[in-house]
Structure formats: C-alpha cells, structure tokens
C-alpha cells in the first residue's frame, strides 16, 4: 500500500473545507443543486439577481445547459470594480518578466487595474467592437493580456485567445473561425531568452482574413515591426483613452469567451463558456481547491492561452480579490531555479504548475530549489496530465518540504474549472490520484464497450459526468450539433470526458489518460488528426499516422509514421523539413519528436488504419500487438517494428 498523507492539524485549522463539511456540502450539491448553487451563486455580484438556478438537459438531441438564466452581471465589475471599493490599493497582478536581469517586475493594484481595463475597453469600442463581437488575443504573457480579457468582458465582447506559440496559419484559422472584428497582438514575445515576432505572424495570418479585421498592436519589446493600414497603435491610443467605462449588463448565459481546443477528430473546436456559471465556478474552485485566503499570493504558471490561465490566473483569482502572478517566462530561464526564485521574491503562498515542468526541474537537481527561501509556500498544485509518483514525491519532499498539501486537479478546457481534486483540508492525499469530485460534479464510470454504469469500488472504465455543473461549456462555437456528438454522442445522457479512469477500493478516482486520439504533450492537448493533416499537406507526403509514446519529460511525445510519395527518397534533410513544416502549420508544440518512414501503414481490409498497432510499436511493446490477422497486409508490421525509432 503506497504511503498516504492526511491533512495536518495546521492545514485543517485554517481550511475553508474540511472532512466534516465536505461530505454534507457535496451531498447537497448533488441531491439539491438548486439550493446549493442558489446559495453559492451569491459569491459573485449580480446586477439583477437570478430567480432560476439550474435548467440543464443531457438528453440526446436536446442537450441544453443554462445556469442562473434570468440573472444579469458583469465579469469585469466582479473581477475589478467591486474590489476597488474595498481593497483598491491591494496588488491585483504581479507581473514577472521573462528576463529578470533586464526588466523589472510590476505590481498593479486593483485601482490601477480598473483604469487599464477601462482604457482598453474604450479603445476597443473606438475600433467598433460592441456587445457580442469577437476579439482575438495573440499576446505574450503581459498585463495587457489580462486588461484585454477584462475589457472584452466589460463591453460584452467575446474573447478568443490564441496561444502565442501557435503559428500564423493556426491564428488565421481561429480569426476566421470566430469571425473576429479585432486582433490584439504585440510587436514581439520574449520567452526563455528568445523572441517570437508576433506582429509578423499576425500580419501573415491576416493576409487570409477579411480586410475589415483590425489589428491593435501593443508595444512589448519596442522592436521594429511592419505597419499596415489595418494596424492601430495601442500605446498611442492610450494617451487619448478615457479612464472609465460603465460595465455592460450581461445575461448569465451570454458568452464570455471562446477557446479552441483539440479533439480526436477534425480541426480544433471553439469551446464556448458563458458569463454567470463560469465565474461562480472559477472563483469557487480557486478559493476551495487552493484554500485561498485574503492576503495570499497565488501563482499559476500557465499561459493565458490555455484554459488554466483563463480560470486560475485571471477570472478565479481576480473574482476573489486575490493577488495573482502573471509570469512571462519559462521554468528554466535564466536558470533552473527561476520558479523558486520567483516564489521567494514574491512570497508565494500557493503554487500551481504542470507535471512536465516538475519532471524537468526534478532532473535539474535539488540545489536549484534549496537555494531559495520557500517558507511562504503553503500549498502546491498540479494540472494537465496525470502526475507520476516520482514527480509527486519530489514536489512534496523537495519543494514542499513535506509541509504543503499537493492538489492534483483533473479538469479540461470544456469543464471551466476543477472536476476531480483533493481539497487540502479534507482529503488524505494519494500520490498520483485526483481523488474526489468537486461540489456539483457527479463522476460516473462506464464500461467502454457496453456503456453500462460500473458500480462499486476497485473498478475501471471511461470517465463520464452524470449531470451538469455551472462551469460546463455550453456549446461549440457555431456548431451545436458537433458539441452534442462529441461529448454526448458516445454515451447517451452523460458528458464523456475522453479520459479513462479507475475508482479504487476507497472510492478515490485515478485518471489514467485519454482513451481517444488526443495526446498530451507537456500538458498541451494535441489531436493526432491535426498533426496528420499538417503532414499530408506537404507535397512529399502520401500518408501519415500520428500516435503518442511515453516520453520522460513531456509525458507523451509525438510519433509520426510517414509514407512518402513514390518519387520521394527518405533522408534526414526531408525529416528536418517535415519538422519545420509542422511547426509552421500548427506551432512548435506540434513538432513530431520522432518520424519513422513507413513504406506502408497497417490497415484493415476496409482501409482503416489500425492505430492500436502503431501505438504499441511506438511504445516499444511488440509483445502486445494483439490480433493482426484482419490486416490487409500483415507484413507491413514487421517492417515497422524493424525500423522503429528510438528517442525518448
């Protein structure tokens, strides 16, 4: 039996949620959601209070999700204005630059934040943006990213953030996909000592967009950029912009943002989150999962280009009047002590990062941690993929010195906030398990073949959710049918997460990873179909199949089997060319780690690629190939095994 970690008396004494109140609160959240959320919905300020709480259906053909549907509110007023009255001088955002040797960190108070957000809102309005319009953000991790998110929320515009690591092509597809009116970008994005030319990427993307799309350019490095007729200089416009703007009254179900994420088929889909339920859920999970208390300094190391940055750098913490850190850099620059240096410098109390970063820093050696004073740390969090016990133990022993509970939070872009997570004052921790459902979350384990509910403990299956929770996505932008099919099509009446899980003998949940064709590379979600379609778009490529394989640091690496056109010879040069090609089509995070030349791919007689076999070969698990007799040409498998690439 592996070691478990009960909450310490000190943690319990101060905790919002303990073993005593978790049980009854959870029961009520499931059995009487109207009363539970009717009460907890009041944690945010409503302009017009709701009288209806939950109105949701997972019924096939009629999936419809509404929370607090007759209430009105404004997210920016909740994240900014209401704190200006009570804590205007408190720091809202601490900005920590990529390079601490050339650039100072910044503290932005709630009162200052209000001015920045209002100015940005006025600038957007002057560019013709109004309620319901879409605005794409393609920005470094600078405070302007948060100002822009909150400015959109203030005027009722819908933001869609594109991670600055995505290519011009990916950006263009997302601008067109949401029919955005304005793109906000910066000249350059410094990261890890290197600089990405964001504005040039945006220019390249905009060549394929409607001429009417405007580009608002924020100065970050001051490096030269080209200037076109559609460009507007944010820093010049700031000088003229009014410093107040009244927040728009929004319905609880008005969209707040779109965020593209990868699925198992087709191109990325625009996940839509709405205003009321999302804010209630983001703020409540932030407070309870991290046991956040007034005055604490909270640091989530994610990028605002991912959902984790939306919910736990900006919306959750700011709704709670927290001090939140926005970090522009990477864990290993200028050196492998950067995270810990920042923790010490800003006296961080709760620290939230991804297993891939923990593994990389574990490999760098304990001395990088031990150099810095981490005595203010009270809690550690993990997100993005299952955390392996070695990494968990190192995080616990070396970073937390055995004094900081670790919350392993399982959730998704689609869920808005934490779904399964330990609560520090209530849960006896098991390394590697996300353990318990958050309030309102009803996990159900289903048999993947029959779709039957698997009852009892010590069982395995696919992870579904039996009923709606306020932070749930409402639809896929412009394609409600795809939404129903993707999440409710496989198991009628349930939201299907795409993950496998087991429920152990104590009833704790362990998420075991995706059961579909989504891979998880350094905590980034990637659809194998996306990488395949990028590869086959190259003239030399006839066919491609992409799978994940175990990778020591990244969790999973990208393994691509590529069949070349008849007239093409395999070469190292071509391999490099294909790597570069995928980087340009999608972005650096999609670059294949290994490319194997495959004269043929294992296919069934009906022409379907047998990915199961490709996965096993990539995993170096030849013994378990299973039945290959249904293959049209079983001999291709021998060739693939013989020429398997090594490289983890």
Is residue 134 involved in binding ligand 6R9 (CB under 6 A)?
no
* Alpha-carbon gap, residue 389 to 367, rounded angstroms: 21
For 425, other C-beta atoms within 10 Å of its C-beta total 23
The number of residues that bind ligand 6R9 (CB under 6 A) is 23
3-class SS letters over 180-205: CCEEEEECCEEECCEEECHHHHHHHH
In the list 520, 556, 563, 596, the residue contacting ligand 6R9 (rule: CB under 6 A) is 520
In the list 169, 499, 508, 517, the residue contacting ligand 6R9 (rule: CB under 6 A) is 499
Is residue 176 involved in binding ligand 6R9 (CB under 6 A)?
no
> In this complex, which beta carbon is closest to ligand 6R9, that of residue 386 or of residue 557?
386
Find the residue with minimal CB distance to ligand 6R9. Answer: 413
Q: What are the beta bridge partners of residue 521?
A: 524, 555
Is residue 410 involved in binding ligand 6R9 (CB under 6 A)?
yes
In the list 18, 167, 308, 353, the residue contacting ligand 6R9 (rule: CB under 6 A) is 308
Is residue 502 involved in binding ligand 6R9 (CB under 6 A)?
no
Choices 69-77, 119-127, 370-378, 508-516; region in contact with ligand 6R9 by CB under 6 A: 508-516
Is residue 435 involved in binding ligand 6R9 (CB under 6 A)?
no
* Alpha-carbon gap, residue 374 to 345, rounded angstroms: 9
> In this complex, which beta carbon is closest to ligand 6R9, that of residue 204 or of residue 515?
515
In the list 169, 385, 484, 516, the residue contacting ligand 6R9 (rule: CB under 6 A) is 385
Is residue 301 involved in binding ligand 6R9 (CB under 6 A)?
no
Q: Checking DSSP bridges between strand 350-353 and strand 297-300, what pairing results, if any? A: parallel
In the list 41, 97, 156, 384, the residue contacting ligand 6R9 (rule: CB under 6 A) is 384
CB of 92 to ligand 6R9, least distance (A): 23
- By CB atoms closer than 10 A (0-12, 13-18, 19+), residue 487 is buried
Is residue 284 involved in binding ligand 6R9 (CB under 6 A)?
no
Is residue 628 involved in binding ligand 6R9 (CB under 6 A)?
no
Q: What does the DSSP assignment read for 16-72?
A: SS-HHHHHHHHHHHHH-HHHHHHHHGGGS--SB--S--EEEE--TT--EEEESTT-E
Choices 9-17, 211-219, 388-396, 406-414; region in contact with ligand 6R9 by CB under 6 A: 406-414
In the list 112, 133, 408, 593, the residue contacting ligand 6R9 (rule: CB under 6 A) is 408
Cα dist. 631→542, 548, 605, 634 in Å? 20, 22, 6, 5
Q: Considering Cα of 636, then 637, then 643, then 648, what sign does the dihedral take?
A: positive
Helix, strand or coil for residue 531?
Answer: helix
> In this complex, which beta carbon is closest to ligand 6R9, that of residue 339 or of residue 495?
495
Is residue 412 involved in binding ligand 6R9 (CB under 6 A)?
yes
DSSP tag of 396: I
In the list 218, 399, 426, 434, the residue contacting ligand 6R9 (rule: CB under 6 A) is 434
The tokens for 233 are 């200089």
Is residue 394 involved in binding ligand 6R9 (CB under 6 A)?
no
Q: Checking DSSP bridges between strand 255-261 and strand 158-161, what pairing results, if any? A: parallel
In the list 56, 201, 261, 289, the residue contacting ligand 6R9 (rule: CB under 6 A) is 261
Phi-psi sector, 68: left (phi>0), alpha (psi -120 to 50), beta: left
Choices 80-88, 141-149, 305-313, 566-574; region in contact with ligand 6R9 by CB under 6 A: 305-313
Choices 41-49, 67-75, 159-167, 380-388; region in contact with ligand 6R9 by CB under 6 A: 380-388
* Alpha-carbon gap, residue 289 to 179, rounded angstroms: 36
Let me know: does 408 contact 384? Beta carbons within 8 Å: no
Which residues are known binding-site members for CoA? 191-194, 308, 522, 583
CB of 580 to ligand 6R9, least distance (A): 25
CB of 409 to ligand 6R9, least distance (A): 5
* CA-wise closest residue to 162 among 149, 171, 151: 171
**Strands in 440-575 per DSSP E:** 443-446, 459-465, 475-476, 495-503, 509-514, 518-521, 524-527, 541-551, 555-564
Which residues are known binding-site members for ATP? 384-386, 408-413, 499, 514, 525
CB of 541 to ligand 6R9, least distance (A): 28
Helix, strand or coil for residue 370?
Answer: helix
* CA-wise closest residue to 135 among 166, 178, 170: 178
Is residue 381 involved in binding ligand 6R9 (CB under 6 A)?
no
Let me know: does 327 contact 301? Beta carbons within 8 Å: yes
Which residues are known binding-site members for Mg(2+)? 536, 538, 541
Is residue 404 involved in binding ligand 6R9 (CB under 6 A)?
no
Choices 48-56, 114-122, 379-387, 638-646; region in contact with ligand 6R9 by CB under 6 A: 379-387
Choices 59-67, 301-309, 575-583, 618-626; region in contact with ligand 6R9 by CB under 6 A: 301-309
The binding site for ligand 6R9 (CB under 6 A) comprises 261, 306-308, 383-386, 408-413, 434, 497-499, 511, 513-514, 520, 525
């Amino acid at each position: 039996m592996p070691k478990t970690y009960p909450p310490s008396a000190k943690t319990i004494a101060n905790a919002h949620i303990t073993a005593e109140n978790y049980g009854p609160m959870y029961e009520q959240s499931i059995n009487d959601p109207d009363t539970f959320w009717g009460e907890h919905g009041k944690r945010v300020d409503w302009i017009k209070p709701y009288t209806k709480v939950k109105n949701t259906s997972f019924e096939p053909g009629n999936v419809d999700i509404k929370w607090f549907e007759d209430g009105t509110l404004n997210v920016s007023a909740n994240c900014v204005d209401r704190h200006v009255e009570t804590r205007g001088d408190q720091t809202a955002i601490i900005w920590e630059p990529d390079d601490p040797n050339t650039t100072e960190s910044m503290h932005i108070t709630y009162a200052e934040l209000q001015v920045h957000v209002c100015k940005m809102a006025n600038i957007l309005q002057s560019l013709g943006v109004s309620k319901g319009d879409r605005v794409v953000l393609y920005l470094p991790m600078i405070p302007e990213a948060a100002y822009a998110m909150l400015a959109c929320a203030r005027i009722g515009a819908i933001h869609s953030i594109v991670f600055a690591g995505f290519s011009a092509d990916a950006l263009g597809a997302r601008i067109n996909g949401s029919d955005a009116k304005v793109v906000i970008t910066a000249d350059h994005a410094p990261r890890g000592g290197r600089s990405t030319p964001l504005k040039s990427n945006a220019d390249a993307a905009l060549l394929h967009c409607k001429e009417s799309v405007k580009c608002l350019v924020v100065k970050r490095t001051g490096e030269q950029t080209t200037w076109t007729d559609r460009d507007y200089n944010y820093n010049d416009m700031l000088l003229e912009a009014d410093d107040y703007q009244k927040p728009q009254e929004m319905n609880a179900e008005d969209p707040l943002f779109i965020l593209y994420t990868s699925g198992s088929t087709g191109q990325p889909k625009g996940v839509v989150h709405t205003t009321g339920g999302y804010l209630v859920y983001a703020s409540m999970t932030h407070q309870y999962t991290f046991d956040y208390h007034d005055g604490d300094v909270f640091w989530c190391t994610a990028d605002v280009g991912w959902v984790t940055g939306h919910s736990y750098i900006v919306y959750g913490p700011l709704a709670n009047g927290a001090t939140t850190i926005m970090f522009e850099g990477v864990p290993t620059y200028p050196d492998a002590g950067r995270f810990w240096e920042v923790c010490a410098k800003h006296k961080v109390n709760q620290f939230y990062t991804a297993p891939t970063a923990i593994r990389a820093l574990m490999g760098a050696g304990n001395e990088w941690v031990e150099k810095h004073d981490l005595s203010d740390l009270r809690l550690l969090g993990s997100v993005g993929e299952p955390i392996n016990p070695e990494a968990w133990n190192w995080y616990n022993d070396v970073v937390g010195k055995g004094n900081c509970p670790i919350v392993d939070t399982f959730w998704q872009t689609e869920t808005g906030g934490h779904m399964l997570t330990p609560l520090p004052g209530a849960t006896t921790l098991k390394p590697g398990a996300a353990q318990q459902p958050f309030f309102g979350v009803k996990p159900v384990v289903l048999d993947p073949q029959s779709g039957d509910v698997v009852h009892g403990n010590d069982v395995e299956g696919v992870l579904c959710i039996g009923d709606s929770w306020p932070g749930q996505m409402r639809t896929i932008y412009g394609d409600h049918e795809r939404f129903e099919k993707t999440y409710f099509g496989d198991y009628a009446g349930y939201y299907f997460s795409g993950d496998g899980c087991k429920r152990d003998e104590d009833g704790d949940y362990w998420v075991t990873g995706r059961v579909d064709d989504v891979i998880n590379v350094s905590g980034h979600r990637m659809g194998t179909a996306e990488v395949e379609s990028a590869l086959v778009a190259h003239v030399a490529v006839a066919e491609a199949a992409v799978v994940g394989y175990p990778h020591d640091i990244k969790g999973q690496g990208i393994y691509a089997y590529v069949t070349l056109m008849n007239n093409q010879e395999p070469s190292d040069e071509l391999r490099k060319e294909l790597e570069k090609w995928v980087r340009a089509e999608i972005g650096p995070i999609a670059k294949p780690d290994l490319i194997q030349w495959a004269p043929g791919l294992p296919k069934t007689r009906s022409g379907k690629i047998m990915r199961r076999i490709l996965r096993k070969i990539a995993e170096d698990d030849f013994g378990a190939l299973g039945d290959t007799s249904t293959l049209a040409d079983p001999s291709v498998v021998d060739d693939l095994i013989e020429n398997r690439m090594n490289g983890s």
